[in-house]
Each structure stands twice: as structure tokens, then as C-alpha cells.
Amino acid sequence: MTITQIAYEHVICDPAECTGCRICEYVCSANKHNVFDANLSRIRVVRIEPVTMTAITCRLCADAPCILACPRDALTRSEENGIILVDDTKCDGCGWCVEACDFGAIVLNPSSRLAEICDLCADNEDGPQCVVYCPKEALSLATPEVLRQKSRRKVVQRLFEELMDNE
Amino acid sequence: MQLKVEFLGLARELAGTKEGLVQVGEQATWREVVRQLAAEYPALLGTVIIPDHDACDSDMQHYKLAPSYMFNVGGRAMVRDLDMPVQAEERLLLMFAEAGG
Amino acid sequence: MYAYTGKILHVDMTTQAKRVQQVEPEFYKLYLGGVGLASRLAYDNVTPGADPLGPDNALCFACSAFAGTTVPVGTKHGVASKSPLTGFIGDSLSGSHWSEMMRRAGWDGLVFKGQSPHWVIVFIDDDDVRFLDATPYMGMGAVEVQGKLRDRLGDENIRISAIGPAGENLVRFASIDNDGRQVGRTGNGAVMGSKRIKAIAVRGTKPVRVADRQGLMEKSLPLIKTTQGPGTLKYRTLGTPANVLNMNAIGVLPTRNFSETVFEHAETISGEYLRDHFRVKAVSCSGCSIACEQWGVVRDGKYKGAKIGLDYEPLFAVGSNCGIGTLPPIIKLVEMADELGMDAMSAGVVISWAMECYEKGLLTKEDTGGLELNFGNDDAAVAVMEMMAHREGLGDMLAEGVKRASEKLGKGSEHFAMHSKGMELPGYDVRSLKTFAMGLAVGTRGPCHNRSLAYELDIKGVFDRFTAEPGRGPLVVENENFACVLDCLVLCKFLRNCFDDFNTEVAELYTMTTGIELTPEELAEVGDRVCNLKKAFNIREGWTRADDSLPPRAMQDPIPSGPAKGSFVSQEELDLLIDDYYQARGWTEEGMIPRAKLIELGLGDIADEIGEDAVVADAAV
């Protein structure tokens, strides 16, 4: 088994903050296809039970299995920001990339039947629109390392707050 | 005089206590109570207590209760006008109006 | 027209025949969607005089204007039928994904009439409608069955409205569950059960197209951000359970079957206590940026593992009102009500009535099957909850609702049967909320805190809550109309503080979504229209002024203690309040709608159907 390295910034959801509203799905499909249609959204909210949920989209794996899986070499990586680019002239909708992705992050557009993958809203200067619209700031554009740093800061902050309270 | 204020709902969450004491002068109005609360419990500022830009008779910063928050005296009478004098030292509730559920 | 498809699906459950009704944009301008659309469908499709649990009743679903779009807190649906509790209009609302799915399957509304010869699952797969045998799913919980059906149909995108055992057994206050949210009040779950529909599964694969996608999203973003501001903070941090201490402090928290108004254990059943000891997370309905639903989990003790999203109304009903002073049994009871498929509010008020009967000796241990049904006995409450859903023993009588149960038991128990028009009261003791007393008494779907927001006028001190005088009608009507507009759109009431100019901003959102031109004035008028439409439904079903009433306890027993001690609503006061309300509505003294009023509201076809000169003439027959 190859080790999945995650090095690029991608949209990460904090399950503790996600409330399952699915506004990210509406926003994604609207931006990409001009309609509201969760089936076309490249980010999906998964709610296992009432309080257990998170949103999942492309994690820009360094050793991306979807790229390797594509028999027609339709998937390549952007050198600029690491997003997975789909060449519409090569993709024939076979779905191997979908199967290869452990996160279920690749969409097969039901009408065009071609693969679609989160591109971090590369065409929008404000960045990923799901992050912009997320009411709870559960979504962020980050690398795991950056998130680790944030988590560390948060926990230490809480520790000191408690210490202050106890004085 | 000294007033005991019971905090309910969000006011309690923000103040971090169920009740608090506020000292105001004998001739004080409810506005003075709001000001004292803002000083004692700054966490209430911005949510329960907000600046009152309409009431500016001096350079002093004026405050009022945010819409849907209010004082209730003795569980019976709502304070409708902050410029009225504070009544007896009764049980004072800082509560909210909207409900649902 | 955008977003709306202009199509209503009619299904005759007796024959499994389906028919598509085309609806013009003008219709949406008049009724918007949600409760307005569902109520109009009910008016048009319920056979007058129908047995609510018979084939002539129609169960009508309607989606909301903003379902499936970025307009926050707007993905809800309305349901209406003739209520098995009241015999009048039974309109109810629920949040979550159903509204979006119905729309994406291509339907603005669904109407089920007739009665299936055997239990079925209705599967609406875009344009296709199939009927599956429900036998394997009978007896399953209302939430449980949804997961099982999704597994069987093999698609997690499918959304389901389902009933539990209570709906199957025609408990008159049965609810319809969708993703853990309920069409709770007025007994629509029993109507669904009477049609032998265990569940309605919907798969919609069509996109939602709006008239001005970019404009709508530009307007949605600041609204989403505003919903994270101070106007909704109390809903997000404490949710509606924050009301427990609020209501207790001013002496209006119904306690022990509305006999008292201050509960000695309010602290330990409060929203604050819930947050500190049981809360795990606040979650959202579909498309909701607020997330008010406070999920609590019981971590130890005999109710270990019980978990539910708790709201004030169910909490009061099975809590203080049953004399239960700790949260674990309350969480358990509401979880049970949801899974069994019953309105927890009605269920709680029915149980509290039975508890009072037991304490007064009107029900004995023999009647209860050995249960010591005293106030505060949570074990007994849990047992009775189960018995009601299955109509076992005493549960059979209680499943009829407190009005019919008290009529059957007699012995003076009607005095403290806390209902109006047959529906159990919400969690505000109206003896010292006299403006709200008016709002509850005249409610078309029975007494409701979501239809009449008049308690705000009392609690804010706009009016003196301890007295009644003429002149309150116009504001009560205005509030009711506003609530109605929200229910028709549908926008959640918790969004109501997030606008500077509601009518202007929302009319614009409506046009951007649907493409239907709508002025702020036209939007506001919908409230008056739909309130009158629902009243017309009731008049057609034989409503008279005597139906606008309060239970004897509210009018004869002064509040025994607390800040509101001594208060009650006298008959004179109620008459005065009701006169005031009718006048503000432009109705006759007897509460009938003049023909001219109906025509003015654009309900000319109803005027033609109901009356020659005035509706009053016809109703007197």
C-alpha cells in the first residue's frame, strides 16, 4: 500500500463545527453549473446520525490514486496549486477514478457523465466559495500541518483560560 | 440602592452567573442600571446591552438593552421606558421575549 | 416560472391512480408555498364533512419557495389535511430535506386521497410513482424505518417522510417524521396512517433553477452571515429550552397539568442545565445556517443512551407539566415520542391529564394496568407513552387526545382537559397572558404558539398581560398575519430578526428565486389571505363562535401561587378579546367572514362556494 501524502491546501471540514446544513453543496453546484443541485456538488455532507456529520471534498492527495487509476490519462495535477485537472476531451466517464478515491470525492456529472473534481474555485479570486458561505466556519482552506498548528494553539489557549478561571 | 438582578438565558451564559448585584443612586433610572451592568459584566456588551446613540444628553456613553431583551420587575411588570426611575428594590429579571419551540 | 415546477401530484390511494395538476404562477403569488399552498390544496381536495380518518380526507404536502437554494433557513415543507383532533384545518410544518427533494423530483405539492386496501410505501422516483409492500416495515419506528428504506432502495439521497406505530394505530396526535424532524401538530400522522401509507420516499434528481442565481447568492451571503449575529445567538447557544427559566420566572410555565405556573425543579430541566450537562451539539435543518437544535445525550443511569434534539415545547409538556424535574427522563420521553411517531406536545399534555385524573382518584390502578400514575413518576410516563402509541390498555383512550378522553371518562375531568378545539395547549399558561389567550382561542388549527405570536406582546409588556381591554385585536392580527407569511414562504421564525425591512427584502428574494413579480405589499397580504382561507375551511366544516374557546381551568381556576397568583381569564374577558379579534379581522360578530372580505382577498371562488350574500348566512344553516 502506498502512503497517502497530503501536502497541498485543500478544503477541510471540522466535524465539531459542521451542523449539516448543506449550504456548501448548494453553493458549489451553483458556482460550477449555475443550478442548485447537490448531485453536482463537488463537496458533499455526510451525516451518519443526527449529530455525526462532516463535509468531504477532494483532498489533493500527493500520490493521487485517481490520477494513477485513469486509463486514458485524463487526470493530471496542476503544478500551480496541486488541484486535479480533468481533461474533458480524454475523460470518457468510465468512473475508475471514482472507485480509486477513498473519500468518494469525485463526481460523475449525471448529464455529461464526465468526472468533476474540486478545483478550489480556481477561477474565483475569493477562493473556494463553500468556505466563504459556510455559516459555521467549519470549512477552511488549509493543509493538515496548518490545521495541526491551529489545533495546538486552540488547546493551549483553552488550557490557559481554565488556569486563569481557577485563580 | 442595591438591586439583585437575575440573569436568564443568554444573559446568564454571557455573565457567567445566575445573579448579580448592582449599586445605583436613589434617584437612578433604569438606564443607570443598564450602565452599571455593562460595567460589571462587559460580556453582555454587544449582545444583550448595546450602545444607545439616540440618547446623548452629554458626552457620557449611553446604553440600552438589545431588542428582545428587557427588564422585568418581580416577574410581573415589564420596564417599558429606561428613563423611568427605578422602583423598589424588588426582584429584577434580565430576560428575553422571543420564544418558539 | 423558476424553482417551482407548477405541478402537483395527486395520488388516489384507493386505486393507485395518479394525476398531475398544473398550477399557474398566479397561484404562488396568492399562497407562496408551504402552509399557504398546503392549506389551499386541502381546501380544494378535502371533501367537506369528511371523516378525518376516512378516504375523503386529503393529505397535502407543499414545498417552500426557497427549498434547495442558498437562502438560509428556508428549506421546509407544509402539510395540511382535516385534523383528526380538531375536525378543522390541520396545517403543520417541518424542516429538513424533504422540501428540497419533493421539488427536485418535480413536484410543488403532493395530494393523497382515498385509502389503500393494504399498507404501502409510496416511492416517488422523479416522475415515476411506485407502491411497495410495507409489510416488512410495519411496527418500525418513524426514524428507524427511514434508514431501513434507504438501505433497501440503495440510495442515501432518498428522503423519506414516515409514520411510526402511533400513526399506524391512528393515534389522533400522530406525527410524520422526516430525518428526525416532525410534522408534529394536529395529527397528520394519523391521516397518513388512515390512508395506509407507512412512508413516502422521494428521489429527486432535477436541479433547482432560479430566476436570478447570481443575485440570489449575493443576497444570501450577507443573510447567512447575519444569522451568526446577535439576533440568533440565543437560539444557537441555548436553543428554545432557554424558555424554561424565562417562563418560570414570570409565572407562566405550565406545571402539573397547567394547575401551577412555577415549577420548583425548573433549574434542573432548563436550557442552561441541558447545555452544561447533556448537550453534545447543536445541529441544523437542511439549508439552515442557524442550527438551533440542541442535542442532548443521557450518559448514565436508567435512561443511558437516550438522545434527542430538545425544544422547549416538548420539554415543558413531558417535563414540568408532568411534574418531572430532571432531564434524563425528559430526553427519553421526547425520543420515544419521536420514534413512536407522536406529537410530544400533545402526548405530554395527555399524560399530565391522566396523572391528574389518577391523583384525584378518577383513574385507578386498575385503569392504569397497575401503574402509579402520579405526577413526577417518570417510569409510569414512559410506560404510558408506549401504551398510547400501541393503543394498549389505558393508552387506547389516551390516544384519542385529551378532549375525547375526558369526554369518555367524564367525572369532571373535562375541567382540566387542557385543549382548545380538541388540540392540546402549548407551553404558556394563558391565565396571565391575556393577549395570547385571544391568540390561542381563535387559532384556526387550534391553540398554537407558532401561528399566534401574541405571547410576545404580553411578555414584552406591549399590553398588560394581567388585564384585557379592547384595542389589542389589530396588533394580534398583524402578528398572526406575519407568522403566516413566514409559514407560507416557508422561512423559519428564528430568522425574523435578521432583516431590516422584511417585506421588501423577502419579496425581492422571492422574485429572484421564482421569477414571479411580488411587491412587498403583496407579500404582506398573503398572511391575511391564508388566515382567512383556513378560517373558511373551518366554517365549511361547521365552525361556530363557541369553538373559539379556552379550557375551563384557564377560565375558572385562579393561578394558585407565584408572580401571576390570582390571575385567570374570565368569560367576559374572553368574549371581549374575541370580539376585538373578529373586529380587527373584519369578520362578523359571530366570527363569519363577509363575502366582500373574501372577494377583496382574492378568494372569490371560496365566497361563491360558501355563501350567497355573506358566509354567515350559509353557516347558519
Residues 275-294 (C) with a CB less than 8 A from some CB of B? 275
Q: C344-373 as b/e, with b when 16 or more CB fall inside 10 Å?
A: bbbbbbbbbbbbbbbbeebbeeebbeebeb
Q: Is residue A4 a part of any domain in this protein?
A: no
Contact: C461, B79; criterion CB under 8 Å = yes
C-alpha cell of residue C609: 362556494
DSSP-derived 3-state class of residue C559: coil
The CATH class, in words, for C7-203 is: alpha beta
Q: Which residue in C236, C289, C514 has the most chain A C-beta atoms within 10 A of its own C-beta, making it the best mutation to test that interface?
A: C289
Q: Is residue A3 a part of any domain in this protein?
A: no
Any residues with CB less than 8 A from the CB of C393 and at least 6 apart, and which? C368, C369, C387
pLDDT at residue A140 greater than cutoff 50? yes
Give the nearest partner residue to C208 out of A37, A50, A51, using CB atoms: A37
Tell which wins on pLDDT, C271 or B1: C271
Quickly count: other Cβ atoms within 10 Å of residue C33's Cβ.
31
Q: How far is B18 from chain C (nearest CA, A)?
A: 10
The DSSP 8-state label assigned to residue C414 in this structure reads G
pLDDT for the residue numbered C240: 92
- Average pLDDT (C398-407) is 98
Q: How confident is the model at residue C278 (pLDDT cuts 50, 70, 90)?
A: very high
Q: Is residue A2 a part of any domain in this protein?
A: no
How confident is the model over C335-368, as pLDDT tens digits?
A: 999 999 999 999 999 999 999 999 999 999 999 9
The answer to whether residues C207 and A35 touch, using CB atoms and an 8 Å cutoff, is yes
User: What domain range includes position B50?
Assistant: 2-96
The answer to whether residues C410 and C329 touch, using CB atoms and an 8 Å cutoff, is no
Question: How many Å apart are CA C460 and CA C465, to the nearest integer?
Answer: 9
Q: What is the 3-state secondary structure (H, E, C) of C217-253?
A: HHHHHHHHHHCCCHHHHHHHHCCHHHHHHHHHHCCCC
How confident is the model over C172-223, as pLDDT tens digits?
A: 999 999 999 999 999 999 999 999 999 999 999 999 999 999 999 999 999 9
pLDDT for the residue numbered C621: 34
Q: Is C242 on the interface with B (CB under 8 A)?
A: yes
Give the nearest partner residue to C238 out of B9, B47, B95, using CB atoms: B9
* Touching subunits for chain A (3+ Cβ pairs under 8 A): C
Give the nearest partner residue to C243 out of B12, B78, B99, using CB atoms: B99
DSSP-derived 3-state class of residue C295: strand
Contact: A20, C283; criterion CB under 8 Å = yes
Helix (H) or strand (E) run with residue C283 in it = strand C279-283
The DSSP 8-state label assigned to residue C132 in this structure reads E
pLDDT for the residue numbered A5: 60
For position B60, which CATH number holds? 3.10.20.30
The DSSP string of C480-526 is HHHHHHHHHHT--GGGTTS-SSHHHHHHHHHHHHH-----HHHHHHH
Task: With a threshold of 0.90, tell me whether the complex ipTM lies above it.
Answer: yes
Q: Which of C300, C298, C294, C299 is nearest to C314 (CA)?
A: C294
Q: Is the dihedral of CA C515, C519, C520, C522 positive or negative?
A: negative
Q: Is residue A83 a part of any domain in this protein?
A: yes
Q: How many residues does chain C have?
A: 621
C-alpha cell of residue C214: 447570481
Q: Is residue B67 a part of any domain in this protein?
A: yes
pLDDT for the residue numbered A14: 92
Cβ-based contacts of C221 with chain A (< 8 Å): 132-133
Any residues with CB less than 8 A from the CB of C99 and at least 6 apart, and which? C63, C64, C67, C68, C75, C76, C77, C286, C490
The CATH class, in words, for C227-424 is: mainly alpha
Question: How many Å apart are CA A35 and CA A37, to the nearest integer?
Answer: 6
Q: How confident is the model at residue C429 (pLDDT cuts 50, 70, 90)?
A: very high
Domains C7-203 and C227-424 share a fold: no
Question: How many Å apart are CA C240 and CA C16, to the nearest integer?
Answer: 42
- Average pLDDT (C490-501) is 90
Residue C564 CA: distances (Å) to CA of A141, A163, C77, C406: 55, 44, 38, 27
Chains A and C form CB pairs within 8 A to the count of: 86
Question: How many Å apart are CA C197 and CA C61, to the nearest integer?
Answer: 14
Cβ-based contacts of C428 with chain B (< 8 Å): 99
User: What domain range includes position A115?
Assistant: 10-166
Q: How far is A51 from chain C (nearest CA, A)?
A: 6
Q: Is residue B101 a part of any domain in this protein?
A: no
C-alpha cell of residue C296: 442532548
pLDDT at residue C609 greater than cutoff 80? no
Mean pLDDT of chain C: 95
C-alpha cell of residue C560: 394558585
Contact: C459, B78; criterion CB under 8 Å = yes
Q: Is residue B38 a part of any domain in this protein?
A: yes
Backbone angles phi, psi at A19, to 5 degrees: -110, 0
Question: How many Å apart are CA C522 and CA A96, to the nearest integer?
Answer: 53
**Angle at CA of residue A28, ends A22 and A34, nearest 5°:** 120
C-alpha cell of residue C543: 365552525
The total number of structural domains in chain A stands at: 1
Q: Is residue B73 a part of any domain in this protein?
A: yes
Question: How many Å apart are CA C108 and CA C25, to the nearest integer?
Answer: 12
pLDDT at residue A135 greater than cutoff 60? yes
Q: Which of C189, C198, C190, C202 is nearest to C134 (CA)?
A: C198
- The rounded radius of gyration (Å) of the Cα atoms in chain C is 23
For position A140, which CATH number holds? 3.30.70.20
How confident is the model over C228-252, as pLDDT tens digits?
A: 988 888 888 888 999 999 999 999 9
Q: How far is C68 from chain A (nearest CA, A)?
A: 7
pLDDT for the residue numbered B100: 62
Cβ-based contacts of C227 with chain A (< 8 Å): 135
pLDDT at residue A33 greater than cutoff 90? yes
pLDDT at residue C131 greater than cutoff 60? yes
Cβ-based contacts of C181 with chain A (< 8 Å): none
Q: How confident is the model at residue A50 (pLDDT cuts 50, 70, 90)?
A: confident
Q: Which of C116, C115, C117, C113 is nearest to C47 (CA)?
A: C113
Q: For chain A, list residues whose CB is within 8 angstroms of any CB belonging to chain C.
A: 16, 19-23, 26-27, 29-30, 33-40, 50-51, 53, 110, 132-133, 135-136
What is the percentage of chain C residues whose pLDDT exceeds 90? 93
Q: Is residue B28 a part of any domain in this protein?
A: yes
Cβ-based contacts of A35 with chain C (< 8 Å): 207-209, 213
pLDDT at residue B14 greater than cutoff 60? yes
Q: In what order do the strands lie in the sheet with C59-62?
A: C17-22, C7-12, C109-113, C59-62, C76-82, C89-95
What is the percentage of chain C residues whose pLDDT exceeds 70? 98
> Beta strand pairing status for C181-183 and C128-133?
unpaired
Contact: A34, C283; criterion CB under 8 Å = no
pLDDT for the residue numbered A157: 85
Task: Say whether the peptide bond before residue C490 is cis (omega within 30 degrees of 0).
Answer: yes
Q: How far is C458 from chain B (nearest CA, A)?
A: 9
The total number of structural domains in chain B stands at: 1
Q: For chain C, list residues whose CB is within 8 angstroms of any CB belonging to chain A.
A: 68-70, 72, 97, 104, 157, 180, 205-210, 213, 217, 220-221, 224-225, 227-228, 280-291, 295, 307, 309
How confident is the model over C23-63, as pLDDT tens digits?
A: 999 999 999 999 999 999 999 999 999 999 999 999 999 99
pLDDT for the residue numbered C619: 43
Q: Which residues pair with C600 in a beta bridge?
A: none
* Touching subunits for chain C (3+ Cβ pairs under 8 A): A, B
Q: Is C491 on the interface with B (CB under 8 A)?
A: no
Q: How confident is the model at residue C612 (pLDDT cuts 50, 70, 90)?
A: very low
Q: Where in chain C are the domains?
A: 7-203, 227-424, 434-619
Give the nearest partner residue to C563 out of B68, B75, B99, using CB atoms: B75
Contact: B101, C250; criterion CB under 8 Å = no
CATH number of C434-619: 1.10.599.10
Backbone angles phi, psi at C132, to 5 degrees: -105, 150
pLDDT for the residue numbered B57: 59
Give the nearest partner residue to B96 out of C234, C312, C494, using CB atoms: C234
Cell 385524573 sits on residue:
C357
Q: Is residue A87 a part of any domain in this protein?
A: yes
